[in-house]
Amino acid sequence: MSYTMWAILAMASYGVTAVFLKVALRHFPPEVALVITNFILVATGFSLVVFRGHSITAYLGLGWPTLTVVLAGVTLSLSIFSYYLALSRGPASAVVPIFAMSFAVASVLSILFLGEAVKVTRLIGMALAVVAVFLLTR
């Protein structure tokens, strides 16, 4: 399957996840929901590592790659916990589009720090995303 199809699957499943999570957060504190959902995520990750024959420890060491994956884990934890808290306190129709702007942030950072191409269509897309979030949160 191409990266585009995987991205579309990720988009669709994350959208469905937001709805399930909003319903669950009516009955669970965000911290409890965070532990349950992420336990399932970690169990799935371990299963994939075993199934594909990888070794986690083979990739760990003192160096930039390990530091970047640890930093990604820290920022992921902050973002997901913040998302759960926001979703537990606000309407999904506003919280989810704001959270989804994280992808526009990633696009800007990728252009600035990873040397990815600046395209007019990408800039227009990001601008339209900002407008969409503005309209969806009104």
Label residue 126 by pLDDT band (50, 70, 90): confident
Q: With 0-12 CB in 10 A as exposed, 13-18 as middle and 19+ as buried, what is 84?
A: buried
Mean pLDDT of 30-37: 96
Mean per-residue pLDDT over the chain, rounded: 92
- Residues 110, 116: contact at Cβ < 8 Å? yes
Residue 113 has pLDDT above 90, yes or no: yes
Alpha carbon distance 96, 19 (integer Å): 9
Per DSSP, the three-state class of 27 is coil
- Sorted by where each begins, the domain ranges of the chain are 3-91, 101-138
Mean pLDDT of 85-110: 90
Mean pLDDT of 56-68: 92
